[in-house]
Structure 1
Amino acid sequence: MTKLKLGPLADDRPIKLTVELPAVVHRDLVAYAAALAAETGGEPVPPEKLVPPMLAKFMTSDRGFSRRRSGSND
């Protein structure tokens, strides 16, 4: 079985943000929550709890963004 990119979710103080998602993305988030629960042995989290760590993971893995953020002009 392939290991998911996200691990257990940290309980962090949230900032409220409202977004609209395509239905297919919502369905995929629900499926991801179920897969994460199966992998970690917990209960599925609401899909909106997955968005922040997924965005954070995406941004930390984006080399172009990391270079711009650090001020490097390579």
Structure 2
Amino acid sequence: MGEVSLKIGPLPDRTPQKLAVLVDPLLAADLEDYARIHSEIHGVEVSASALVPLMLETFLASDTGFRKARKA
């Protein structure tokens, strides 16, 4: 799939922890699409549920307001 770049690279080796999250149908579809594209780019089948923790880590790491409030 061409020269497409995603913020999340290949998944690191991790022991998964179970977490149940309910999302609306549009978000579920977006997550499935992201997982499909990620799988195509990196050549390794990955589920949306495997990507969600990394997406959350990436989001929290980039949220400067959160980091500042946490230090306060």
Which of the five TM-score ranges fits, normalised by the shorter chain?
0.7 to 0.9
Partners of 2:29 and 2:61 lie apart in 1 by 25
1:31 aligns with 2:65: no
Indicate if the aligned counterparts of 2:35 and 2:47 stay in contact, CA closer than 8 A: yes
Scaled by the length of structure 2, what TM-score is found? Answer: 0.82
Q: Deviations over 1:20-73 (max 9, x none)?
A: 111111111111011112221x2331111111000000000000111122x24x
Partners of 1:29 and 1:2 lie apart in 2 by 17
1:12 aligns with 2:10: no
Provide the identity percentage: 39
Name the Cα RMSD after superposition: 1.5
Partners of 2:45 and 2:27 lie apart in 1 by 16
Question: Any stretches of 5+ residues in structure 1 without a counterpart?
Answer: none
State the shift of 1:2 in Å. 4.3
Question: Any stretches of 5+ residues in structure 2 without a counterpart?
Answer: none
Partners of 2:14 and 2:49 lie apart in 1 by 14
Give the AA of the match of 1:6: I
Give the total of aligned pairs.
70
